[in-house]
Amino acid sequence: MKGELLYEGKAKQVFQAESNNDQLVLSYKNDATAFNGEKKAVFSGKGKYNNLISARVFDYLREKGIPSHFVRSLNDSEQLVEKTTIIPVEIVVRNLAAGSITRRLGIEEKTVFTPPLVELFYKQDELGDPLINDEHAMMLADVEQVELKQIKAMALEVNKHLQAFFENINLKLADFKLEFGRNKAGDIILSDEVSPDTCRLWDKDSGAKMDKDVFREDLGDLLQVYNTILQRLEAAV
């Protein structure tokens, strides 16, 4: 199934799919990193949770008509996806204030954003993924204004669906990060992963953080939290 290793990132390995030149196998690693890789740890089983949770999210988004790279899960830690050229801009959507925006703009955690905020970050580890505006994105990421408009509209549409998806398992979606890529046909589609590594999720009853902040802020057992999310998804109707 897997061919050559094409790329290795902090959280995933990317292999050529053997059966189809236009597809890739994403293999989710057990590594957790935060603060641009400054903090690192290995959690045996983490790859499985992110793979299976992300697969469920992309299945749901497909049902809602969101075009993405996701083809299907292959096993516990691997999934088949359509090959895309990633646009090196991370799109963050914020419903509730948390993380970098609280520090950057002095906004209190949990402040509600109505309408949700959309932010762009340049995907460039050496620079620490800096916040950028549309003009920077057009200059740095080979993307046009009309495409940025389309990407932001898709991100807000994804936000609506993800809010409902997580609400159904008693989680509030504070914020999340998306990546988009261009496929062979030239269409811009949702790529990468959507998992508790890339979202902030707060339990609706207790307010407990149920995402990678558990690792970032040393709040408890990351695997147990990710396992709870997967169990809630498996039990949900």
Chain positions contacting ligand ASP, by CB under 6 A: 10, 33-37, 212, 216
For the chain, report the end-to-end CA distance as a whole number of angstroms.
Answer: 32
Q: How many CB atoms lie within 10 A of CB 71?
A: 17
Q: Does 23 bind ligand TMP (CB under 6 A)?
A: no
Choose between 143 and 173: whose C-beta lies nearer to ligand TMP: 173
Q: Which residue is nearest to ligand TMP (CB)?
A: 99
Binding residue for ligand TMP (CB under 6 A) from 177, 196, 209, 210? 177
Binders of ligand TMP: how many residues, by CB under 6 A?
10
213 phi and psi angles, rounded to 5 deg: -60, -25
Contacted by 35, from ligand ASP, ligand TMP, none: CB < 5 to 8 Å by type: ligand ASP
- DSSP secondary structure string, 137-180? HHHHS---HHHHHHHHHHHHHHHHHHHHHHHTTTEEEEEEEEEE
Choose between 3 and 107: whose C-beta lies nearer to ligand TMP: 107
Which x/- pattern over 97-136 shows residues binding ligand TMP (rule: CB under 6 A)? --xx----------------------------x-------
